[in-house]
Amino acid sequence: MNGACDPQTAALLEHPALAGPVTVVLAHADVLARGAVRRAELSVQPPERLRRLRAHARRVRRARSQAETRYKKERARRTGRTRPADPLELRAARAAYPHAFGEALRHELRAHGLPDGTPDAPESDLAEWAWQRRTAGDELPAPVRELLDCDDDTFVDALLRDAREEENPHLTHDAVAERWNRHARTALAWGRYAVGKAEQHVLTGPLSLRRARLDALDDAQQDTAVLAARAREAQLKVLDLRDRMRACVTTGPVADLVARCRAAALARFADAEPEAWQYVRELVAAHRADCPERTGGCPHCHHHLAAGLTGTDPDDDHPDADTAPEDRYALLADLPDTAVVAVADAALDDDTARCGHGWAAEDGTTGHGDSFASSSGEAEIIGACTAALDLLERHEDVPVVVLCDSTQAVRVLDAVLHSGEPAAEQRALLFPESRELVDRLLPHRHRVQVRWLKGHIGHDLNETADALARLALRRAAGRISASAARREETRILRALDADAAAGLRTAA
Ligand SMILES: [Zn+2]
């Protein structure tokens, strides 16, 4: 990455077998490089040193994304050649008539004692089935059994110990890999939480303690770097496992059996849909006559053939998902007249799990603050809850409506407010900060609604909430002084025109 190693080592690093491991190492280096920048910002450093650290962090980031691209290519190359392509007629029929062909295939799979998957994807269960048959009867080591049987919180604790104390060799066991990968992001979020807390200590503590607290921040960043590397390892492990599972059905006796099922399914399809089948054969014959890729077996041509068969254009994108301007506020048209309405927004720092949130209400009030969140969804939940709690306190006996532009936050809060039960949304409400806010909101749940509002479309309240959230994050991270933050806040509020503030429902 620095261009500083000898040519022999550089050549070795290009070896295909290292494409995955290199991404793990760079995930680790990325966290450390950005952490070094942050520590330098928080201690007073000469500008030249800060500039060098930032340049280094950018270089690591770039190297990391290049390594990820190389790994993807390498994996595609490795897995792409494992299975001989089905005949073009079969691929075209399957792509053009997925329902009829799928029905025929499920029939054949069932007749041969194979699992018949879902109506949309008859072959979806095959790899897992073949894998389980191959590994059936394998005795699992006791520590592996323990990792599989413990509850989620205990498992995440094991991941934190793995990163902070001693590497757990059983995590890489095939039987644990899926679970490891699923929870590695949660463990990483807790690492970032610790970094955020350590940063807060540096910023709020007396200058005399700054050096010791910067060391503590360094420790938290080191742990998080290991968590990031382990999370990447878990991903690689699962991808590798899935490739090996798939290989079970693309090679050997199971592959032959599946190929026979496919061929029989095609015959069954031809019987059931003679006209469609005739059409497929004519089109494929005409295509073969002049396709430049015919010597290679036309590996991708079935997409175009299927489009020709069903009369759709594969290059035609889905209809524009953007809603018309008059639809943007359609959701608000049914708001009760007495409701007080606020728009909330949030901003998240990926490195520290710290978030800023802000809101602006129709009654002209605004608010902002900072907290901790494991995802942008959790940050938005914190913003929406804070806004709702403030309105509830100031307005008695009227409905409170909070609008936010995160569909995840709306879905989670909707579910929690309806059921009165936050436990079901445990994964979205990871940190104590969000859970505490939701607990405070629950007693008022019959008076609160959270709705989705399309974000960043120039709506005044939304713009104000967004600007306040970003300001709160910069303020919390010590990137802007208290006096500069106050001036900035004044500017944001001045921009929020008093007439426009009341215009939310006029737009509806
Ligand atoms: Zn072709």
Radius of gyration for the alpha carbons in the chain, expressed in angstroms and rounded: 28
pLDDT, mean of residues 137-166: 93
**DSSP-derived 3-state class of residue 285:** helix
> In the structure, what pLDDT confidence band is assigned to residue 319 with cuts at 50, 70 and 90?
very low
Residue 322, pLDDT score:
47
Of 46, 40, 60, nearest to 478 (Cα)?
Answer: 40
| Domains defined for the chain, CATH in brackets | 7-82+171-248 (no CATH), 88-133+251-310 (no CATH), 326-507 (3.30.420.10)
Residue 3, pLDDT score:
67
What span, in angstroms and rounded, lies between the C-alpha atoms of 259 and 116? Answer: 14
Q: Which long-range contacts (CB under 8 A, 24 or more apart) does 496-499 make?
A: 496/360, 496/366, 496/460, 496/461, 496/463, 496/464, 497/460, 498/364
* 249 CA distance to ligand 1 middle (Å): 26
Six-digit token pair at 346?
Answer: 């949030």
What span, in angstroms and rounded, lies between the C-alpha atoms of 30 and 225? Answer: 8
Alpha carbon of 500 to those of 59, 212, 390, 402, 506: distances in Å? 45, 49, 21, 17, 9
* 290 CA distance to ligand 1 middle (Å): 8
What span, in angstroms and rounded, lies between the C-alpha atoms of 496 and 81? Answer: 59
What span, in angstroms and rounded, lies between the C-alpha atoms of 425 and 310? Answer: 42
Residue 83, pLDDT score:
59
In this predicted structure, the answer to whether residue 104 has a pLDDT above a threshold of 90 is yes
* 241 CA distance to ligand 1 middle (Å): 33
* 91 CA distance to ligand 1 middle (Å): 12
Half-sphere exposure of residue 266: CA atoms within 13 angstroms, side-chain side: 20
* 296 CA distance to ligand 1 middle (Å): 8
Six-digit token pair at 21?
Answer: 């491991």
What span, in angstroms and rounded, lies between the C-alpha atoms of 440 and 290? Answer: 70
Structural contact between residues 442 and 323, judged by C-beta atoms closer than 8 angstroms: no
φ, ψ for residue 324 (rounded to 5)?
A: -65, 155
Residue type, 460: D
Q: How many CB atoms lie within 10 A of CB 41?
A: 15
Better-predicted residue by pLDDT, 504 or 11: 11
* 305 CA distance to ligand 1 middle (Å): 9
What span, in angstroms and rounded, lies between the C-alpha atoms of 286 and 367? Answer: 67
pLDDT tens by residue, 269-298: 999 999 999 999 999 999 988 898 888 888
Residue 455, pLDDT score:
67
Alpha carbon of 214 to those of 54, 120, 211, 340, 355: distances in Å? 18, 55, 5, 45, 21
Six-digit token pair at 83?
Answer: 């299975």
* 364 CA distance to ligand 1 middle (Å): 64
E strand or H helix at 451: strand 448-452
* 315 CA distance to ligand 1 middle (Å): 17
* 346 CA distance to ligand 1 middle (Å): 50
* 263 CA distance to ligand 1 middle (Å): 20
* 299 CA distance to ligand 1 middle (Å): 7
- Protein residues within 5 Å, CB atom, of ion ligand 1: 291, 293, 298, 301
φ, ψ for residue 337 (rounded to 5)?
A: -60, -35
* 298 CA distance to ligand 1 middle (Å): 4
Instruction: Report CA torsion sign: 279, 285, 286, 291.
Output: positive
pLDDT, mean of residues 339-351: 93
Six-digit token pair at 449?
Answer: 């609604």
**DSSP-derived 3-state class of residue 448:** strand
* 212 CA distance to ligand 1 middle (Å): 67
* 12 CA distance to ligand 1 middle (Å): 38
Residue 325, pLDDT score:
47
Residues near 398 by beta carbon (within 8 Å), at least 6 away in sequence:
338, 339, 340, 447
pLDDT, mean of residues 404-421: 91
Structural contact between residues 339 and 361, judged by C-beta atoms closer than 8 angstroms: no
* 203 CA distance to ligand 1 middle (Å): 63
List residues bridging with 356 in a β-sheet.
347, 370
In this predicted structure, the answer to whether residue 328 has a pLDDT above a threshold of 50 is no
**DSSP-derived 3-state class of residue 402:** strand
Residue 323, pLDDT score:
45
* 306 CA distance to ligand 1 middle (Å): 12
What span, in angstroms and rounded, lies between the C-alpha atoms of 283 and 275? Answer: 12
* 272 CA distance to ligand 1 middle (Å): 26
* 294 CA distance to ligand 1 middle (Å): 5
pLDDT tens by residue, 191-250: 999 999 999 999 998 888 999 999 999 999 999 999 999 999 999 999 999 988 888 888
* 102 CA distance to ligand 1 middle (Å): 23
Residue 247, pLDDT score:
85
- How far is Cα of residue 398 from the mean position of the Cα atoms in its chain? 37
* 196 CA distance to ligand 1 middle (Å): 55
What span, in angstroms and rounded, lies between the C-alpha atoms of 69 and 87? Answer: 31
* 97 CA distance to ligand 1 middle (Å): 19
Residue 51, pLDDT score:
95
> In the structure, what pLDDT confidence band is assigned to residue 29 with cuts at 50, 70 and 90?
very high
Six-digit token pair at 395?
Answer: 């307005």
